[in-house]
Amino acid sequence: MIDTIEKEDNLISEEEAAQYDRQIRLWGLDAQKRLRGSRVLLVGLRGLGAEVAKNLILAGVKGLTLLDHEQVTQESRYAQFLIPVDADGQNQAQASLERAQLLNPMVEVKADTDAVESKPDDFFFQFDAVCLTRCSKDLMVRVDQLCASRNIKVFCGDVYGYHGYMFSDLGQEHHYVEEKPKVVKGSNKANDGPEAKKLKVDPNETTMVKKTVSFCSLKAALEVDWTNEKAKNNLKRIPVDYFLLQVLLKFRTDKGRDPQPDSFAEDSQLLLQIRNDVLETMGLSSELLPNTFVSYCFSEMAPVCAVVGGVLGQEIVKALSQRDAPHRNFFFFDGLKGSGVVDYFGSK
């Protein structure tokens, strides 16, 4: 069911009304109040993480915790806009805090310098949504399973060179409302023809329609059985980025890092070998992912971070405000083509 707004939360201050005027007009006061009552955990403060943080803070969540244990380097400083130029050697979350808070003083922004792997299970239960970037597959699966038991919404995302993705798990039953044109009855007069009596859409009036949608776990989405006939028949329409993601997650698991430009030759060969192994394990041909992919998946491209971060931030806002249909369940962006696609993987 759509979350109700408590009576004591019915009032909004003049300052908030002025700050959020445009978005209140866009998605309504109740949606803004749900957003205002939500706390979000964001893991990873590189290029994509900074974009997501900016979007959530400007949207007006109640609180945002920035969690990152890594230190600022020249590369990470170039990758995002929240870290000052003189912050080399500092913690990335702490270095991003001041500029993040300045974006919207009405949002409680905190920095956590611990490693996400060290956090106990109950740490995640204090949030309404968790967004994971730059995390291993095992960690993302673990957090997704933990949060599912408490109906906490989970989002994952990463940018690899010209490619980026986001995944969402909003639970078995995610309720939301959607604005639709109002359907009005036609004339009932006896002398009117049959066309006049048909239902018509009035473009000048809208109505709010309640809907429910179901999501599957990240584990199920990444472990599709490609040996059955139905899955094989759909291979031609599957975005190649899905298989690229599997390869890059395996690289991160094996090496404990992402492909690095300063070890391009070595990492390129390893990526090709992992591609062969991963697709063979799936029962698929390595030709699904051409060799040229290795030239376009190194580092974080700022424009790709902006696009994927915009979509990821939008999906978190939609989920928390329970307004409009969510992407279900993957979004893939290909910067070489300049286009993105939404597709569903996993159990229906």
Enumerate domains of the chain plus CATH numbers.
1-171+301-340 (3.40.50.720), 174-213 (no CATH), 222-295 (no CATH)
Q: What is the overall mean pLDDT for the chain?
A: 92
Q: Given this model, what pLDDT does residue 1 score?
A: 62
Per residue in 29-44, pLDDT (tens digit) is: 999 999 999 999 999 9
Bridge-based pairing state of the strands 39-43 and 129-133: parallel
Q: Given this model, what pLDDT does residue 205 score?
A: 80
Q: Given this model, what pLDDT does residue 231 score?
A: 86
Q: Taking residues 214-230, report their average pLDDT.
A: 94
Is pLDDT at 4 greater than 90 in this prediction? no
Distances (CA, A) of 63 to 59, 81, 105, 331: 11, 20, 11, 25
SS3 of the chain: CCCCCCHHHCCCCHHHHHHCHHHHHHHCHHHHHHHHCCEEEEECCCHHHHHHHHHHHHHCCCEEEEECCCECCHHHHHHCCCCCCCCCCCEHHHHHHHHHHHHCCCCEEEEECCCHHHCCHHHHHHCCEEEEECCCHHHHHHHHHHHHCCCCEEEEEEEEECEEEEEEECCCCEEEEEEEEEEECCCCCCCCCHHHHCCEEEEEEEEEEEEEECCCCHHHHHCCCCCCHHHHHCHHHCCHHHHHHHHHHHHHHHHCCCCCHHHHHHHHHHHHHHHHHHHHHCCCCHHHCCHHHHHHCCCECHHHHHHHHHHHHHHHHHHHHCECCCCCCEEEEECCCCEEEEECCCCC
Residues with Cβ < 8 Å from 314, sequence gap 6 or more?
Answer: 55
Q: Given this model, what pLDDT does residue 302 score?
A: 94
Q: Given this model, what pLDDT does residue 312 score?
A: 98
Is pLDDT at 221 greater than 60 in this prediction? yes
Residues with Cβ < 8 Å from 279, sequence gap 6 or more?
Answer: 243, 285, 286, 288, 289
Rounded distance between C-alpha atoms, residue 315 and residue 48, angstroms: 14
Per residue in 280-333, pLDDT (tens digit) is: 999 999 999 999 999 999 999 999 999 999 999 999 999 999 999 999 999 999
Contact 330, 184 (CB under 8 A): no
Is pLDDT at 348 greater than 80 in this prediction? no
Rounded distance between C-alpha atoms, residue 341 and residue 240, angstroms: 11
Q: Given this model, what pLDDT does residue 6 score?
A: 47
Is pLDDT at 210 greater than 90 in this prediction? yes
Six-digit token string for 309: 């971060």
Burial class (CB in 10 A: 0-12, 13-18, 19+), 31: buried
Six-digit token string for 242: 């899905």
Rounded distance between C-alpha atoms, residue 31 and residue 3, angstroms: 10
Is pLDDT at 207 greater than 70 in this prediction? yes
Q: Given this model, what pLDDT does residue 264 score?
A: 97
Per residue in 138-194, pLDDT (tens digit) is: 999 999 999 999 999 999 999 999 999 999 999 999 999 998 888 776 655 555 555
Q: Given this model, what pLDDT does residue 7 score?
A: 36
Six-digit token string for 83: 């870290």
| 51 CB neighbour count, 10 Å cutoff | 27
Q: Taking residues 19-24, report their average pLDDT.
A: 89
If pLDDT is split at 50, 70 and 90, which confidence band does 17 have? confident
Q: Given this model, what pLDDT does residue 259 score?
A: 97
Q: Taking residues 57-78, report their average pLDDT.
A: 95
